[in-house]
Structure 1
Amino acid sequence: MEQFLIGGSGAKASTGGGKKKAAPRVLPWIEKYRPKGVNDVCAQEEVVAMLKAVLIEGKELPNMLFYGPPGTGKTSTILAMARDMFGNLASERVCELNASDERGIAVVREKVKNFAMTTANSQRADGKKCPNFKLIILDEADSMTKSAQEALRRTMEVYSKSTRFCLLCNYVSRIIDPITSRTAKFRFRLLPKEIQYNQIRHIREAENVQISENAVEELISVAAGDMRRAVNFLQSLHRLHEDEITPDDVRDVAILCPAEKIDEVIREARSKSYENMLTKVQALLQDGYPAGQFMHQLQDAVIADDAIEDFQKVNIINQIGKADHALTDGADEKVQILAIVSVLQRELSR
C-alpha cells in the first residue's frame, strides 16, 4: 500500500539532501520568438518609423492606439519599444493590463491611477538616457466598459506629464471618441505571406521542425494572416508529429471541416433533399467541428461557386452573418445551422 501511495511498485521515497534536477523551462514559441526590439518588428512601417523617431531622435512619445486584426504584432511592437526605451527598468516602468479580464471602472481608478502616481527611477544600468515617464499598456481595450473608458480619459489628462498610455484593440469603433481624439492611431495590417513564410522557416530551423513546404503553405493559409495562430499551430504540430508534418496534420490541428463535406452539403441542398443535407450537417457537428468554422467555410464555398447567382449568394451570406452574430450572443449552434441550411436549400432550389 505504501508503495502504491508513493508512486507504484519499486518506487522509493527520496531521503537525505539529494537535489532534484529542475525540469527545463519550456516557453511558448509565441513568447520565445517575439521581437526583442523595434528593429525586429516586421511589416508595420508606419508605427515602426514613429517609434524609431522617438528612440533615435528623442521626439515626444504620444499616447497611442494600436488597432487591427489579432496576431498582427500590436502587443509585440509596444513591448519591443518598451525594452528599447527603458532597458533594465522596463519591469518597473511598464504596467501591462488585459482590459478584457479587468475592464471595470475600479481598475482605472485603482491599478492604473496608482501606477501613474508612482515615482519613476531615471537611471538605466547601461548608462543610456531614459525618459522620465512611465508606460501603461491596456490590451484588448475595446472590451472595457464605457464608464471605464470615460474614467480612463480623465486619468490620461491628469497624468499626461508622467505617464504615456498605449491602448491595443481589434475594433477601434468600440473606443469612445474622447479617447481616440487624445491618441495617435495606428492601424496594424495582416502580415504579408512572405513575412509569415520567413518567420515560420526561421522557427523551423531553430527548433528542428520536420515540416514539408506544402504543409508550411497550408499552415500560412489556415492562419489567415494571424502570426500568433500560425506559431501556436506549428508548436502543437511539432509536439504531435515529430517525424514529419503534412498538410492533413495542419488541417486536423486547425479543426478545418473537410472540403468534400462542405461540397456534399451544397450538393444535397441542390438535390432538394432536406433530410440528407441535415444528416451531413449533423455528422459534421458530431465530429466536433465548430459551427463557426463550418459557417466560414460554407461562406467561402458559396462565394467561389460560379453556379450560384449573385442574388442567391447575397441571401445565403446574409443568413450566415445573422447566425454568426447570434452565436456571438450565445445562441444555440444547431438552431443557427438549421437556419443557414434552410436558406441555402431555398436559394439553390429556385
Structure 2
Amino acid sequence: MSLWVDKYRPKTLSQLSYHDSITQNLRGLSKSGDFPHLLMYGPSGSGKKTRIYCTLNEIFGSSIEKLKIDVKTFVTSSNRKLEFNVLSSPYHLEITPSDMGNNDRVVIQDLLKDVASTEQVDFSNQSSKRHRFKIVIINEADSLSRDAQAALRRTMEKYSSNIRLILVCNSISNIIAPIKSRTLLIRIPSPTPNEIGKILHNITEREQVQLSSGDVDKFYERLALASNRNLRRALLSYETLAMQSETINISSNQQLINLDWETIIKSMAKDITTSRNVSTIAKLRTTIYELLSHCIPARIILKTLLFDLVDLHHENNKLVEEVVSTGSIFDERLSLGTKSIFHLEGFIARSMVVIDKYIR
C-alpha cells in the first residue's frame, strides 16, 4: 500500500492542478524541438520534481516510469573508491552529487561525461526522434561545491547535443552565474492554502475519509498553513490524522501533526534565549549531534533555529537584524566547510552574545 503522496502524484502535465501558466510553458518546451537546460527552483513541497517527471512523460512517454537503481563506482585522485546510487530510466538519470560531499566534482566529471559522450540510439518512440538526448536531473544543485559547478558548466558546453540537464534546488543564491546564464530558470512557488485545500478535498472523496461536522475549508486551510504550504507535508499530515482515528475532528482545537525535530529546535531557541552560558552550549551540542544523526540537514537546522529565534524576539528589530546577519554568515560557512557541528555551535554562541547585548 503506497502513501497518498505517491498514490495521487500526477504523472502527466494535464493532471497538474495548480500553477497553470507554468504547466503551459513546460508543455510548450516539451513539444519544441529545442529543449533547453533547466534550473527549477522553489520551496520544498511546491511540486518541482512532480512537474519535471510530468514534462519527461510528455517528451518520452510512459517509458520514463520504468525506473531502476544502479550503483556506480568512482575513483578519486587519491585512489579512493566511492559508490554512488543512480536512479535511471531508458531516457533519463537522476543523481544527487552533493551526497558525496567534496567529491561531488568526481561524480560530475566521470558520470556526466560518460552519459554525455554516448548518443541516444533508442528511437522506437516516435516522439523521441525529435529529442535525441538524455535528460540528467541533478538534485540539491545549490549544495554542489564550486569545483563541481565549474565542471558542470564545462559539461553543458561540450556535450549539449547529447545531454540536457535539469537542476533542482530550493534557492539559486549558491548557483554560480555561468550556470544561471546557460539554463532556463523556472521558479515553482508554493501552492496557496486554497489550492492545497482543493487537493485535500479531492483525496477526502476518493479515500472516503470521515470528517466531523464543521467548517471543512477552514480545516484544510489550517492544515496547509501548519505545513508551511508544503503540499507533500500537508498530505502526509492529513494521512496520519486519518490513520489515527476513523473520524477526523476538524474543530479548531484539533491537534495537528508536529514534527519532532521542529519541536526540538523550538526548544533549543528557548534555551538560547533564557540560558546564555557555556553549559547550555554543551547541552545543545548533544542535541545537534542527535539531529544530524537522524539525517536532518545542517542548513535546515540553522534556518529553522534562526526563524524560531526571530519569532521569539520579533518585537526587537535591532536584535532580529543582528541575529539574521549572524545566520547569513554561518549559512555561508556551512556551504564552504565540512564540519557542520562547528558552524552550528558557532551560530548558537554568537546568537547568545547578540541576545545578551539587548536583553539584560
Report the alpha carbon displacement of residue 66 of structure 1 after superposing the two structures with TM. Answer: 0.8
Question: Take 1:39 and 1:133, find their aligned partners in 2: how far apart are those partners?
Answer: 24
Report the alpha carbon displacement of residue 318 of structure 1 after superposing the two structures with TM. Answer: 5.2
Which amino acid letter does the alignment assign opposite residue 28 of structure 2? Answer: A
Change (3 A) 1:228 1:317: same
Q: Is the 8 A contact 2:92 2:135 kept in 1?
A: yes
Q: TM-score, normalised by structure 1?
A: 0.70
Report the alpha carbon displacement of residue 83 of structure 1 after superposing the two structures with TM. Answer: 0.8
Aligned residue for 2:57? 83
Report the alpha carbon displacement of residue 167 of structure 1 after superposing the two structures with TM. Answer: 0.8
Aligned residue for 1:166? 166
Name structure 2 gaps, 5 residues minimum.
65-88, 292-300
Report the alpha carbon displacement of residue 122 of structure 1 after superposing the two structures with TM. Answer: 1.3
Aligned residue for 1:122? 123
Aligned residue for 2:256? 250
Q: 2:313 aligns with which of 302, 308, 322?
A: 302
Question: Take 1:35 and 1:346, find their aligned partners in 2: how far apart are those partners?
Answer: 51
Report the alpha carbon displacement of residue 59 of structure 1 after superposing the two structures with TM. Answer: 4.3
Which amino acid letter does the alignment assign opposite residue 198 of structure 1? Answer: K
Question: Take 2:108 and 2:302, find their aligned partners in 1: how far apart are those partners?
Answer: 37
Aligned residue for 2:177? 177
Report the alpha carbon displacement of residue 137 of structure 1 after superposing the two structures with TM. Answer: 1.0
The percent of aligned pairs where both chains have the same amino acid is 25
Report the alpha carbon displacement of residue 92 of structure 1 after superposing the two structures with TM. Answer: 0.3
Aligned residue for 1:21? none
Which amino acid letter does the alignment assign opposite residue 111 of structure 2? Answer: K
Report the alpha carbon displacement of residue 118 of structure 1 after superposing the two structures with TM. Answer: 4.5
SS, match of residue 66 in structure 1: strand
Aligned residue for 1:105? 105
Q: How many residues align?
A: 305
Question: Take 1:217 and 1:322, find their aligned partners in 2: how far apart are those partners?
Answer: 35
Change (3 A) 1:42 1:120: farther
- Alignment of 1:230 with 2:234, yes or no, is yes
SS, match of residue 135 in structure 2: strand
Aligned residue for 1:28? 3
- Alignment of 1:54 with 2:29, yes or no, is yes
Aligned residue for 2:296? none
Question: Take 1:323 and 1:75, find their aligned partners in 2: how far apart are those partners?
Answer: 29
Aligned residue for 1:17? none
Which amino acid letter does the alignment assign opposite residue 27 of structure 1? Answer: S
Change (3 A) 1:160 1:265: closer
Change (3 A) 1:256 1:92: closer
Report the alpha carbon displacement of residue 171 of structure 1 after superposing the two structures with TM. Answer: 2.3
Report the alpha carbon displacement of residue 80 of structure 1 after superposing the two structures with TM. Answer: 0.5
Report the alpha carbon displacement of residue 75 of structure 1 after superposing the two structures with TM. Answer: 1.0
Q: Is the 8 A contact 1:66 1:186 kept in 2?
A: yes
Q: Is the 8 A contact 2:196 2:220 kept in 1?
A: no
Change (3 A) 1:238 1:86: same
Q: TM-score, normalised by structure 2?
A: 0.68
Name structure 1 gaps, 5 residues minimum.
1-25
More strand by share: 2
Q: Is the 8 A contact 2:45 2:231 kept in 1?
A: yes
Q: Is the 8 A contact 1:257 1:294 kept in 2?
A: no
Aligned residue for 1:63? 37
Change (3 A) 1:150 1:197: same
Which amino acid letter does the alignment assign opposite residue 41 of structure 1? Answer: L
Q: Is the 8 A contact 2:137 2:168 kept in 1?
A: yes
Change (3 A) 1:159 1:335: closer
Report the alpha carbon displacement of residue 322 of structure 1 after superposing the two structures with TM. Answer: 6.8
SS, match of residue 36 in structure 2: coil
SS, match of residue 100 in structure 1: helix
Report the alpha carbon displacement of residue 62 of structure 1 after superposing the two structures with TM. Answer: 0.7
Over aligned residue pairs, what C-alpha RMSD do you find? 4.0
If you compute each CA radius of gyration, which structure gives the higher value, 1 or 2?
A: 1
SS, match of residue 60 in structure 1: coil
Question: Take 2:245 and 2:41, find their aligned partners in 1: how far apart are those partners?
Answer: 35
Q: Which string of whole-angstrom CA distances, capped at 9 and with x for unpartnered residues, describes residues 59-88 of structure 1?
A: 421111111222111111111000111014
Which amino acid letter does the alignment assign opposite residue 51 of structure 1? Answer: L
SS, match of residue 166 in structure 1: strand
Q: Is the 8 A contact 1:237 1:249 kept in 2?
A: no
SS, match of residue 238 in structure 1: helix
Question: Take 2:59 and 2:90, find their aligned partners in 1: how far apart are those partners?
Answer: 13
